[in-house]
Amino acid sequence: MQDNFVLDHIIRKPKVSVENAPAVILLHGYGSDENDLFSFAEEMPEELFIISAKAPYSMQPYGNAWYAIHFDNENGKFSDDIQAIKSRDMIATFIDQVIENYPVDASKINLLGFSQGSILSYAVALTYPEKIDNVIALSGYINKEIFGRDYLKNDLSQLSFYCSHGSADQVIPVDWARRTKPFLENLGVDFTYSEFPVGHGVAPQNFFELKEWLQKRL
């Protein structure tokens, strides 16, 4: 681990002079690593301090995961929610460490997650809303089993979500993602939901839309 941090990570400092920069923490998908979403960094708003975190569970022969996904004949595919909850809490601790160690604005911490990282982004934001400003959740879905037990009692009023999914996603069915809209509506939080005619990935128009969405909120 890097000194003082629970998660290995790489950074891109703001391209413009900012005393306390808004920050975005990138959370990659299953089987990937911190370099994956970091490809977004060059195209992100210049005032952002960008931190791309590496998930804690190593996979063979390469890659990392925020939690295991098990396959069996009886239950099909299912998630290791115990590991997911551990990762949720590690990300929350990591946010505190980022604020302590880097010149970032503690009131402007944003999450951008893809797939498994997106699922964790929902869990972190709704369990620890006081730590998060905005969430960009790409190609993920809501897993209430990994939320904090009392999340419905939390003040969610300052949160904003940008949620998107590929309508031809072969990994996470778009029907799972579409449940996000009524769920967030019931919580009364601000959100945008978009679909794009792609598979399990981020289309260029998807990236431009999320970038514009985030820029307006910085």
At 178-194, the pLDDT tens digits run: 999 999 999 999 999 99
- Residue 60 is predicted with a pLDDT of 87
Pairing between β-strand 9-12 and β-strand 49-53 as defined by DSSP bridges: antiparallel
Instruction: Give the E-state strand segments of 4-133 in sequence order.
Output: 9-12, 21-27, 49-53, 57-58, 64-65, 69-72, 76-79, 104-114
pLDDT above 90: residue 73 = no
**Percentage helix, strand, coil for the chain under 3-state DSSP, each rounded to 5:** 35, 25, 40
Domain ranges of the chain: 9-215
One-letter identity of residue 165:
H
- Residue 142 is predicted with a pLDDT of 95
CB–CB of 49/14 below 8 Å?
A: yes
pLDDT above 80: residue 3 = no
The continuous run of DSSP H or E covering 128 comes out as none
Confidence class of residue 75 from pLDDT cuts 50, 70 and 90? low
CB–CB of 169/178 below 8 Å?
A: no
- Residue 61 is predicted with a pLDDT of 87
- Residue 18 is predicted with a pLDDT of 86
- Residue 74 is predicted with a pLDDT of 59
- Residue 28 is predicted with a pLDDT of 97
Confidence class of residue 78 from pLDDT cuts 50, 70 and 90? confident
At 109-125, the pLDDT tens digits run: 999 999 999 999 999 99
Domain 9-215 has CATH 3.40.50.1820: yes
Q: What are phi and psi of 56, to 5 degrees?
A: -80, -15
pLDDT above 90: residue 71 = no
Angle between helix 81-101 and 116-127 (nearest 10): 70
Mean pLDDT, all residues of the chain: 94
Please give the Cα distance from 41 to 14 (Å, whole number).
Answer: 10
